[in-house]
Amino acid sequence: MKRKEVWSMLGLMFWVAALNPPLGAQEKLQTDPVTKISQPAMDASVAVMEASETRPAPSEPSAQAGGHVDFGLNREPRPLESGDLTSYPLQSGDVSPEPIVDLLPEVQQAIDDIRAQSRGNVLLVECNGAFGYSTIQSAIDAAADGDTVVVLPRNFVGIDCTGDAYVENVDFLGKAITVQSAVPADDDIVAHTIIDGNQSGSVVTFRNAEGTDSVLDGLTLIHGSGTVHPVYPFQGRIGGGVFIWEASPTISRCVIQNNVSQAAAAIYSRSGSPLITTCLIRENENTSRNVIGGVVALSQVSGGHPRFFDNVISQNISKTPTMLLVGGYSAEIRNCTITDNQSQGFSIGELGFVVILGCGESTIADSVVWGNQNLYDPTPDWTPQISINVSTMGCSTLMVHHSDIEGGQEGIYVQCGTLSWGGGNINADPLFAAVGYHLQRHSPCVNAGDPAYVPSPGETDIDGEPRVHDGRVDMGADEWQPMLIPPDELDPAPMYAGSIELPPGHALPLP
């Protein structure tokens, strides 16, 4: 008997055991797929992967004299030219009567634009409270529906803060507000607008029936430790970066990184319909071998239909194989790249790196699930890239189309339910670029997504570039674009110069 068959049986046994423990986990599995199961205790050496993303690591900015931090290119301080700070009067009596920071003109322009577009008030958060609020939560507390809370970067040129992050745990309190960085489309500003959960709970919480107009946009969330499961505290802490409980917020352009909790280290969502898009979810770690749903868990116990679009899940470490769990009912996963994650645990019940569990009808489209590894045993058949597993809620149907799945259809483990293997799927090395899981021009994922896909107005890929280039969407979070170098950035003294001899009868076109 092949090992996979043996483990299928053992996995089934463990599932049965999991469904009938003294704690009544059968009910719990039925009501919440992030559920304690029995697994043999294992010890595996921890291997820390090196970051190779294009976005700068927020925890290691380069210090400069004077306490400022500079980064990127073209960030030299420039004198204010228009719209000076008088439009942002000091509101607190206990701070300096003179503005103690100068905003970069582009940040200031961004704030002006936000003010022009916001349907409510704009509340500014700056570390010194110079513009009204020194903490994000104090601004949320003061905000009303329709308001926008703009969190200014820390240690940006012209903004001088102590510490690199807003150290707090933020709760939206049911408000229909936007909490955003000054320029969510600017990776540098996102990387320097950090909320640090200080290992004291989830970094951001939505648990008061927030809807899609509760928006978190363009922030970096680190050092969350999660929220104790409200119903089943024995499961420990879940949702290190983001905790969503029966709510449907919008989370976009965020970096969710370096969060550690027992399960769902990056994001936990229960019974809502959140929209999670263009987020980079990396280097989070779950610590429990006994709870399914290691990094992202979308658990629709009583309904809901999460949309998980244009996200990268990479370089996370999980004590269970599951990097992305869809539990309960259904979810839509599109244009996601789930790669280079590392499991350090048994694949009990043939849990894959992506697990579909419950009774819904979910979709994976235009995505890449490739190159995730189980360090405990890297044999490819040990941990499938995707699995559809049994639960007492029933069995799921999963549609997969126009996606690059390592191992192809044969690599998906179906314990119960139905795999609908649609058109356009491939099983080919996505040929990522050296950094950032971007596609190279010759990647088989370029122009291989659903040809019928029509992007939403303004929809972008993970880079903020148009979601569809060259007439057809790509697979994964990145849309390949030609690298265009503005003329003023061309090197006037190229490193390589020389001459070539043309064959007879040939000529180069004149410029």
Query: Residue numbers of the site for Ca ion (CB under 5 A)?
Result: 447, 461, 463, 465, 469-470, 474, 478-479
- Closest CB to Ca ion among residues 141, 470: 470
Q: For residue 1, how many C-alpha atoms fall within 13 Å in the half-sphere facing its CB?
A: 8
Q: What is the 3-state secondary structure (H, E, C) of 123-188?
A: EEECCCCCCEECCHHHHHHHCCCCCEEEECCCCCCCCCCCCCCEECCEECCCCCCEEEECCCCCHH
Nearest approach, Cβ of residue 342 and Ca ion (Å): 25
Tokens of 412: 């998906």
Nearest approach, Cβ of residue 439 and Ca ion (Å): 8
- Closest CB to Ca ion among residues 314, 447: 447
Write the burial class of residue 100 (CB in 10 Å: 0-12 exposed, 13-18 middle, 19+ buried): middle
Nearest to 168 by CA among 191, 187, 151, 185: 151
Nearest approach, Cβ of residue 402 and Ca ion (Å): 12
Euclidean distance between CA atoms 511 and 496, whole angstroms: 19
- Closest CB to Ca ion among residues 75, 469: 469
- Closest CB to Ca ion among residues 138, 453: 453
Residue nearest to Ca ion (CB): 463
Nearest approach, Cβ of residue 15 and Ca ion (Å): 40
- Closest CB to Ca ion among residues 282, 289: 282
Q: Where are the beta strands (DSSP E) in 50-147?
A: 62-63, 69-70, 122-125, 132-133
- Closest CB to Ca ion among residues 86, 456: 456
Nearest approach, Cβ of residue 390 and Ca ion (Å): 38
Give SS3 for 292. Answer: coil
282: Cβ contacts below 8 Å, ≥ 6 apart: 51, 53, 255, 256, 257, 312, 313, 314, 315, 316
Give SS3 for 17. Answer: helix
- Closest CB to Ca ion among residues 253, 289: 253
Nearest approach, Cβ of residue 187 and Ca ion (Å): 12
- Closest CB to Ca ion among residues 372, 447: 447
Nearest approach, Cβ of residue 332 and Ca ion (Å): 20
Nearest approach, Cβ of residue 38 and Ca ion (Å): 43
- Closest CB to Ca ion among residues 21, 464: 464
Tally Cβ neighbours within 10 Å of residue 484: 7
- Report yes or no: 424 and 401 within 8 Å, Cβ to Cβ: yes
Nearest approach, Cβ of residue 168 and Ca ion (Å): 32
- Report yes or no: 212 and 248 within 8 Å, Cβ to Cβ: yes
Max Cα-Cα span within the chain:
86
In terms of DSSP bridges, do strands 324-328 and 354-358 run parallel, antiparallel, or are they unpaired? parallel
Euclidean distance between CA atoms 426 and 448, whole angstroms: 9
- Closest CB to Ca ion among residues 340, 366: 366
Nearest approach, Cβ of residue 310 and Ca ion (Å): 10
Nearest to 178 by CA among 158, 150, 139: 150
